[in-house]
Amino acid sequence: MDKNTEIINCVSSLDEAIKFRHKAIRDKKTFVVTNGCFDLLHSGHVFSLKQASTLGDYLWVLINSDSSVKKLKGDKRPIISELDRAYILSNLSCVSGVTLFNNERLDEEIIALEPDIYVKAGDYNANSIDKHELNALLKVKSQIKFVSFLPERNTSSLIRDIIYKHS
């Protein structure tokens, strides 16, 4: 298989994610969803993803597209392209699948996927979840869980360290 094809094929469409979700329901398996930018994947990301994966049978990761990251983080981001971020995440053993989303929030994806459990890292809480996403989670009766994170293991700190060490 062509290397570029392998990278492109690591991303599941929302329709493919929904089919996977329906299979999980038929098999009586717990479907867990988390999301984020995952720009410059680091140990903090992996730590939280591993914890999230222990909450169910399948962990599905929704990642912000490049245009979505730019809207959220500014014109200098993302550093890593959406396909490369998706490829890295899809090859983690704790991740069952990856889907890109283009909006700044994912209430439509939550409604479509109806996750059993929705997970955010511990730097979030019930009050900091986007209200539209929270309403979607309540509508589909998803449990909302928070997993711990590693302090100072975040993309902004990593970028600061790179700039400091290489300027």
Average pLDDT over residues 33-37: 95
Per-position DSSP letters for 56-106, written without gaps between them: SSEEEEEEE-HHHHHHHH-TT--SS-HHHHHHHHHTSTT--EEEEE-SSS-
- In angstroms, the CA 35 to CA 97 distance is 12
pLDDT at 153: 66
Which domains occur in the chain, in start order?
A: 3-165 (3.40.50.620)
Alpha carbons 33 and 14: distance in angstroms, whole number: 13
* pLDDT at position 6 over 90: no
Radius of gyration (C-alpha) of the chain in whole angstroms: 16
Q: 43-61, pLDDT tens digit by residue?
A: 889 999 999 999 999 999 9
| Percent of the chain at pLDDT exceeding 70 | 94
pLDDT of res. 112: 98
User: Which pLDDT score, from 0 to 100, does residue 96 have?
Assistant: 98
- Does pLDDT of 83 surpass 90? yes
Provide the 10 A C-beta neighbour count for residue 79.
Answer: 15
Per-residue model confidence as pLDDT tens digits over 88-126 = 999 999 999 999 999 889 999 999 999 999 999 877 888
